[in-house]
Amino acid sequence: MARVLLIDDDVELVEMLKEYLEQDGFTVHAAHDGQQGLVAALTGHFDIAVLDVMMPKVDGVDTLRRLRRDSQMPVLMLTAKGDDMDRILGLELGADDYVPKPCTPRELSARLRAILRRARPAQEDSDAPSHLVAGPLEMWPEQRRAQWSGTPVELTSTEFNLLEVLLRNAGKTVSKNELSEKALGRPLARFDRNVDVHMSSLRQKLGVLPDGRSCIQTVHRQGYLLLKA
Quick check: 173 pLDDT over 80? yes
Residues 74 and 100 placed together within one structural domain of the fold:
yes
* Separation between Cα atoms, residue 99 and residue 214, nearest integer Å: 30
Q: Does the residue 109 lie in any domain?
A: yes
User: 151: domain CATH number?
Assistant: 1.10.10.10
Would 218 be classed as within a structural domain? Answer: yes
Q: Can you give the residue range of the structural domain that contains 93?
A: 3-119
114 shares a domain with 147: no
Rounded mean pLDDT of the chain?
A: 91
Domain count, the chain: 2
Q: Tell me whether residue 125 is in a domain.
A: no
Q: 219-229 pLDDT, tens per residue?
A: 998 999 999 87
Look at residues 119, 141, 175 and tell me which one is the last residue of a structural domain.
Answer: 119
Record the pTM.
0.85
Does residue 113 share a domain with residue 140?
no
Cβ contacts of 18 within 8 Å, gap of 6 or more:
6, 28, 30
Within 8 A by CB and 6+ apart from 89, the residues are 61
Q: Are residues 97 and 171 in the same domain?
A: no
Q: Can you give the pLDDT at residue 77?
A: 95
What would the mean pLDDT of 154-170 be, rounded to a whole number?
95
pLDDT (tens digit per residue) in 182-216? 998 888 888 888 999 999 999 999 989 999 999 99
Is residue 127 included in any domain, yes or no? no
Residues 52 and 106 both lie in one domain: yes
- CATH number of 46's domain: 3.40.50.2300
Does 115 share its domain with 153? no
Asked whether residue 141 falls in the same domain as residue 114, the answer is: no
pLDDT tens digits for range 103-130: 899 999 999 999 998 887 655 444 567 8
Q: What is the pLDDT of residues 86-102, one digit of tens each?
A: 889 999 999 999 998 88
Q: Are 106 and 56 within one domain?
A: yes
